[in-house]
């Protein structure tokens, strides 16, 4: 079986190769490699697919005679698929194969698999880190001491001390793989956890909110874990931020489009929000003149929530397990075509 590992600087080709050989130690593999430049070069829209490396020509060349491709960022457009008649399976090392034209793949009987849950733990942990950083002013205190050389005693005054998570009402919007993990960690901190997710049934860690407005009105901290859909785009705007208690904190390590940027900056400037922490943005990266870069009490990180070494290993392992099922003629676990 001829397999192409089209990795990048995060999900390395060495990790993909190791995972494949572990899973398919008794299957003869002809393994070739293509190294894509992400994240050192940004992904973007390539023809009709999203979040892909702009590498159609090099991918077409590398796919010559290839039956299976394992990748994260390769652009499987209509043009690429048409030029790869031997291709039968694409295993995408991410939670959604947005870099694959699914209808074109299905029309050519190419199976498209993905790696759900690979970064759930990493994103949940990062969310808690953002929350603590925003609540306790950790980045500002670090900058004051490490960069300015100041031992600023005012951080110990009542007005500048941040709240604890213990006994603090924390509202979660979304209760999927990431949100449910965050809820469990917050419960261990002793926070008063409340969850709003109309699509999830059954028990949750904490209370269920009857409505989004009710959750916002009660929560001193709100953390977002919803998917970005036409219904949730701009979910948190000026009206929603005004419902939160004055001096609250907002955390978003989910999708940038959930929050209206100008409304968030207005809430921080006015003091309606005491702080916020963002890992994702409506525009990535933010424009050089963005208000986000000038607004006080805002913790910003460059979409790092899912970036851990463990995630890269998990993604390669999930994809390799799908390739093994394919090679053995077994049903695929995470397949969209």
Catalytic residues, by residue number, are 255, 284, 303
- Please give the backbone phi and psi of residue 90, each rounded to the nearest 5 degrees, phi first: -125, 120
* C-beta of residue 260 within 8 angstroms of C-beta of residue 228: no
Ranges of H-type helices in the chain? 13-23, 56-62, 78-82, 102-107, 120-136, 138-142, 177-189, 212-218, 238-243, 261-270, 309-327
Which of 8, 84, 99, 115 is CA-nearest to residue 48?
99
Q: How many CB atoms lie within 10 A of CB 146?
A: 9
| Straight-line distance from the first to the last Cα atom of the chain, in angstroms, rounded to the nearest whole number | 21
| Bond into 89 cis (ω within 30) | no
What is the distance between the alpha carbons of residues 71 and 53, in angstroms, rounded to a whole number?
11
Handedness of CA 105, 99, 35, 7 (dihedral sign): negative
What is the distance between the alpha carbons of residues 32 and 179, in angstroms, rounded to a whole number?
38
For 203, residues 6+ apart whose C-beta sits below 8 A from its C-beta are none
DSSP three-state, residue 72: coil
What is the distance between the alpha carbons of residues 153 and 155, in angstroms, rounded to a whole number?
5
């Amino acid at each position: 079986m001829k397999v192409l590992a089209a990795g990048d600087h995060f999900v390395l080709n060495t990790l993909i190769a190791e995972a494949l050989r572990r899973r398919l130690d008794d299957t003869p593999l002809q393994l070739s490699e293509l190294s894509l430049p992400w994240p050192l070069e940004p992904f973007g829209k390539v023809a009709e697919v999203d979040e892909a490396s702009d590498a159609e020509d090099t991918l077409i060349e590398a796919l010559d005679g290839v039956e299976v491709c394992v990748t994260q960022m390769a652009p499987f457009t209509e043009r690429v698929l048409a030029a790869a008649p031997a291709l039968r399976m694409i295993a995408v090392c991410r939670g959604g194969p947005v870099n694959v034209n699914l209808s074109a793949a299905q029309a050519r009987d190419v199976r498209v698999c993905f790696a759900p849950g690979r970064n759930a733990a990493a994103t949940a942990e990062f969310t808690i880190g953002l929350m603590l950083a925003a609540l306790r002013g950790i980045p500002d205190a670090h900058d004051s001491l490490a960069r300015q050389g100041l031992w600023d005693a005012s951080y110990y005054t009542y007005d500048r001390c941040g709240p604890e998570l213990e006994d603090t009402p924390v509202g979660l919007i979304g209760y999927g793989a990431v949100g449910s993990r965050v809820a469990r960690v917050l419960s261990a901190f002793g926070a008063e956890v409340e969850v709003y997710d109309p699509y999830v049934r059954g028990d949750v860690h904490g209370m269920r909110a009857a409505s989004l407005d009710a959750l916002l009105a009660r929560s001193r901290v709100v953390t977002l874990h919803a998917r970005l859909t036409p219904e949730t785009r701009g979910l948190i705007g000026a009206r929603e931020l005004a419902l939160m208690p004055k001096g609250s904190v907002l955390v978003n390590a989910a999708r940038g489009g959930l929050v209206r940027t100008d409304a968030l900056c207005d809430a921080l400037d006015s003091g309606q929000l005491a702080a916020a922490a963002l890992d994702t943005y409506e525009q990535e990266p933010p424009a050089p003149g963005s208000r986000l870069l000038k607004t006080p009490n805002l913790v910003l990180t460059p979409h790092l929530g899912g970036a851990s070494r463990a995630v890269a290993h998990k993604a390669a392992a999930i994809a390799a397990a799908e390739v093994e099922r394919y090679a053995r003629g077994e049903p695929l676990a995470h397949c969209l075509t």
